[in-house]
Amino acid sequence: MDKKTIDLIDAAISRRKPLRTITNALRLVNGLGDGLPGLVLEQYADHCVIHLFDKRWIAHKEALAEFVETRLGASYLIVKERLAPQALKSEQINASVYIDQAPSRTVVQENALHFGVDLNDGLNSGLFLDMRRNRKIVAGLTKGLRVLNCFAYTCSFGVYARASGASGVINVDISRKCLERGRENYELNQLECAKDEFVRADALTYMKLALKKGNRFGCVILDPPSFARHGGKVFSVKKDFPVLIDAAMKIMESGGVLLAATNFSGFSHQVLKEMVVAGGREKVKSIKQLGQDTDFRGSGRMPESYLAALLVRTK
Ligand SMILES: C[S@@+](CC[C@H](N)C(=O)[O-])C[C@H]1O[C@@H](n2cnc3c(N)ncnc32)[C@H](O)[C@@H]1O
């Protein structure tokens, strides 16, 4: 790697210093946003992961590993090549471990909460760093509310909401494994789980059932995957988000809060807003645009750093 590249990486790392007061899990290099197209470097405590979205970085893998070891003192490093544009599944990425002085799992801290991550378990770590700021914002509004965390993944929104005084949380995800990791996150934060706090179900089916039973929520979180398959059906955020928004609005208490978010770069904030207005009909009181945290420099300029998120308040 030439000096200019090393200087750019160093500058990117320095820029994130202020965030270290609230977390030890952060994106240190965000591709084009840091003048390094195709390169993403994330740190989770003393574990690191590099995502390569451009083949020009392949020749520099060893040099990047050496840099991470010496500059960041990492005890674990995995490099994930994600060269195919649609490489969303773990079997479509080529992953190589470069530093293995520790297991791939570790625990990180964020705003005084703790989360387990595993850098060698598929594409994602277990904690979506780009939602950090939104976790805090949404949790700050949940005191005393019943929260429905749809597409809960490892339940980080649920942990935040419970720690912020939500009166109850239901985490819904289709994956048993994700919910198990969610349970571990609750334990890491000494949160006692209520009965039915973790529900393995299709999110839309759950919301329809809640409507039928008269269950209402003060806060609903919708952060679906861009694409997913389950039970022979294909979920696509493009096709299915309006239906989800409609269902969420119907089970919302008055004066409630909805977070509608997607990493699908085909959705602008404006498109998402139109969906919310259409799905919410006369119930929408206000809509605020949210995005990624400051370590996602250049957010929205490349698919690997895209998040459209809206905080919707209902009447
Ligand atoms: C983008 S992740 C959600 C991230 C999460 N909101 C967070 O911030 O940590 C998508 C999640 O949706 C789950 N999922 C996919 N299809 C689903 C469905 N039909 N119903 C419920 N969960 C589903 C996946 O298992 C995955 O955990």
CA 251 to chain centre: 24
Residue 91 banded pLDDT, cuts 50, 70, 90: low
pLDDT tens-place string over residues 194-228: 989 999 999 999 999 999 999 999 999 999 998 88
Q: Is the CB of 155 under 6 A from ligand 1?
A: no
Predicted local confidence at residue 281, as pLDDT: 74
Segment 132-181, tens digit of pLDDT:
999 999 999 999 999 999 999 999 999 999 999 999 999 999 999 999 99
End-to-end Cα, the chain, rounded Å: 55
Residue predicted with more confidence, 266 or 61: 61
Cβ neighbors of 206 (< 8 A, separation 6 or more) are 148, 150, 172, 199
Of 171, 139, 179, the closest CA to residue 259 belongs to 139
Q: What does the pLDDT read at residue 297? A: 97
Task: Compute the distance from residue 199 Cα to the ligand 1 centre, in Å.
Answer: 12
256-283 per-position pLDDT tens digit: 999 999 999 888 899 999 988 888 778 9
Return the domain boundaries, the chain.
Answer: 3-102, 128-314
Q: Which two tokens stand for residue 171?
A: 């985490």
Alpha-carbon gap, residue 100 to 252, rounded angstroms: 47
Q: Pick the atom of ligand 1 nearest to 202's CA.
A: 20
Residue 244 burial class via C-beta count within 10 angstroms: exposed 0-12, middle 13-18, buried 19 and up:
buried
Whether the predicted pLDDT of 21 surpasses 90: yes
Q: What is the pTM assigned to this prediction?
A: 0.96
Q: Is 130 in the pocket of ligand 1 (CB under 6 A)?
A: no
CATH classification number, 3-102, choose in 2.50.20.10, 3.40.50.150, 3.40.109.40, 3.30.750.80: 3.30.750.80
Tell whether ligand 1 has an atom less than 6 A from the beta carbon of residue 131: yes
Task: Give me the DSSP letters along 209-254.
Answer: HHHHHT--EEEEEE---SEEEETTEEEEHHHHHHHHHHHHHHTEEE
CATH number of the structural domain 128-314: 3.40.50.150
Average pLDDT, the chain: 94
